[in-house]
């Protein structure tokens, strides 16, 4: 259900469009950094993992590599420091010949605990203690880096192949320029997706769940869309959301932001939020923005989510 539509919008005046691409990849242990750097290698990047920070300048002072470069960094790197990494990235971003991005792979603590339990690995920040302590320490340590990341991907519910697809999408590897926008729908019962920049609650709109003929359908169906759009509050709400988004997108692009995530939430994530996400995607694509869409709860149904996780979807 994650699709790319539209065409790359003309990038703001900048030398970055023709610059060398450099991506720092980091995040807590177990969040998928190794998978990410392998994915970038498959996508044509020159990849160097666990390079000491003290050698970054020497690497970049050498002859041009001729293709985008990805550097995997984590707490196990020799001479790793949060301040050192942020300082290196800040200095590199002053060079207009380089398009420097910080990709942070985030993950919920309960998922990380399960992953360490399944692999029986020791956490690098708690080698003789429980992984829980190491995870907490690493979260605290990496908080400033997470706050400075211009690309954040939550891997909690992503399979390795989904992570590869997400990386290709958010890095805009097909076009190599412009601001990439993602629009998604979700259920508040399962929580707000992590890493989204703008969230809109549409639970006040009329709910197709209570119409027997519409209940089994989702917001991609024309009859469901008509039902939601007939709510007298729909037009005003959508016009205001669209106006706000169209006001902010050029500003974010001018500031050098490479990816913006917008989410609509309703009770079950099947009807109202899907209708709004679909409609906004069409508007942004028609305006020339490169935009992708994802419907989280519909994807879960397609993948066969347990019935107990779905039995109350859509109810108020």
Q: Got the DSSP string for 142-207?
A: HHHHHHH-SEEEE-TT--HHHHHHHHHHHTTTTT--S-EEEEEEEEGGG-PPTT-SEEEE-TTS--
Q: Note whether 257 and 199 are same-domain residues.
A: yes
**148 and 206 share a domain?**
no
Give the span between the Cα atoms of 19 and 186, in whole angstroms. Answer: 36
Phi, psi of 126 (to 5 degrees): -155, 60
139 & 191 share domain: no
Q: Which of 285, 246, 257, 197 is nearest to 11 (CA)?
A: 257
In a domain, 316, yes or no: no
What residues pair up with 3 in beta bridges, in sequence order? 293
Beta strands across the sheet bearing 98-106: 46-49, 69-72, 20-26, 98-106, 151-154
Task: Determine, yes or no, domain membership for 255.
Answer: yes
> Given this model, what pLDDT does residue 256 score?
64
Residue at a domain's end among 130, 146, 170: 170
Looking at the structure, do residues 304 and 235 belong to the same domain, yes or no? yes
pTM above 0.85? no
Boundary-marking domain end, from 136, 170, 204: 170
Beta bridge partners of 187: 266
Q: At what angle do helices 131-148 and 82-93 cross, to 10 degrees?
A: 20
Identify the domain containing residue 163 by its residue range. 3-170
What is the domain-level CATH number for residue 159?
Answer: 3.40.50.300
Is the same domain home to 30 and 123? yes
Place of tokens 């890493």: 195
> How many structural domains is the chain composed of?
2
Q: Check whether residue 54 and residue 159 sit in a common domain.
A: yes
pLDDT tens track of the chain, all 316 residues? 445 444 333 333 333 344 688 999 999 999 999 899 988 888 888 999 988 888 888 888 877 777 899 999 988 877 888 999 999 999 888 887 788 999 999 999 999 999 888 877 888 888 888 889 999 999 999 999 999 998 899 999 888 878 887 888 777 654 434 678 999 999 999 999 888 899 999 999 999 999 999 999 999 999 999 999 999 999 999 999 999 999 999 888 877 677 889 999 999 999 999 999 999 999 999 998 988 899 999 988 876 655 444 444 444 4
Tell me: do 30 and 155 sit in the same domain. Answer: yes
> Residue ranges of the alpha helices (H) in the chain?
33-42, 56-61, 82-93, 109-119, 131-148, 160-170, 212-215, 222-229, 234-254, 272-286, 296-302
Tell me the CA distances in angstroms from 281 to 2, 101, 106, 262, one per residue in order. Answer: 12, 25, 26, 10
Q: Yes or no: say if 180 and 170 are a contact pair by the CB < 8 Å rule.
A: yes
Examine residue 315 and state whether it is found in any structural domain, yes or no: no
**Per-residue model confidence (pLDDT) at position 159:** 83
CA distance 25 to 232: 46
Instruction: Please report whether residue 314 resides in a domain.
Output: no
Same domain, 85 and 219: no
Whether residue 241 sits in one domain with residue 145? no
Q: How confident is the model at residue 316, as a pLDDT?
A: 40
How many whole angstroms separate alpha carbon 60 and alpha carbon 167? Answer: 23
Residue among 76, 12, 82, 70 at smallest CA distance from 45: 70
- Of the three residues 148, 170, 192, the one that is the final residue of a domain is 170
Q: Is residue 175 part of a domain?
A: no
Residues 191 and 289 both lie in one domain: yes
207 and 291 fall within a common domain: yes
- Residue 198 maps to a domain: yes
What pLDDT score does 122 carry? 84
C-alpha separations of 52 from 26, 75, 90, 117, 235 in Å: 13, 11, 17, 29, 54
137 belongs to a structural domain = yes
Mutual orientation of helices 234-254 and 222-229 as an angle, nearest 10°?
A: 100
| Helix (H) / strand (E) containing 26 | strand 20-26
- DSSP state letter for 17: G
- Residue 208 included in any domain: yes
SS3 269: coil
Whether residues 150 and 299 fall in one domain: no
């Amino acid at each position: 259900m994650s699709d790319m539509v539209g065409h790359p919008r003309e990038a703001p005046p900048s030398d970055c469009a023709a610059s060398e691409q450099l991506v720092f990849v980091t995040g807590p242990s177990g969040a998928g950094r190794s998978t990410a750097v392998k994915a970038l290698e498959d996508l044509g990047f020159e990849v160097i993992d666990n390079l000491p920070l003290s050698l970054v300048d020497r690497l970049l002072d050498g002859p041009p590599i001729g293709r985008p470069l990805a550097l995997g960094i984590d707490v196990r790197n020799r001479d790793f420091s949060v301040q050192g990494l942020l300082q290196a990235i800040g200095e590199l971003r002053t060079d207009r010949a380089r398009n420097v991005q910080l990709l942070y792979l985030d993950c919920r603590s309960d998922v990380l605990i399960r992953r360490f339990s399944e692999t029986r690995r020791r956490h690098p920040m708690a080698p003789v203690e429980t992984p829980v302590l190491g995870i907490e320490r690493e979260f605290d340590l990496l908080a400033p880096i997470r706050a400075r990341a211009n690309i954040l991907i939550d891997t909690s519910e992503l399979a390795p192949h989904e992570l590869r697809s997400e990386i290709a999408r958010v890095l805009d590897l097909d076009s190599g320029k412009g601001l990439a926008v993602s629009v998604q729908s979700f259920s508040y019962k399962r929580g707000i997706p992590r890493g989204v920049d703008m969230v809109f609650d549409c639970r006040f709109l009329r709910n197709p769940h209570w119409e027997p003929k519409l209940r089994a359908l989702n917001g991609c169906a024309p009859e469901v869309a008509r039902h939601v759009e007939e709510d007298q509050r729909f037009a005003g709400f959508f016009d205001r959301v669209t106006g706000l988004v169209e006001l902010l997108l050029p500003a974010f692009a001018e500031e050098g932001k490479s990816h913006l995530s917008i989410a609509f939430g309703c009770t079950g994530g099947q009807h109202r939020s899907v209708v709004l996400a679909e409609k906004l995607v069409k508007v942004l694509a028609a305006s020339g923005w490169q935009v992708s869409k994802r419907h989280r709860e519909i994807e879960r149904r397609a993948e066969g989510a347990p019935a107990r996780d779905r039995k109350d979807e859509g109810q108020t």
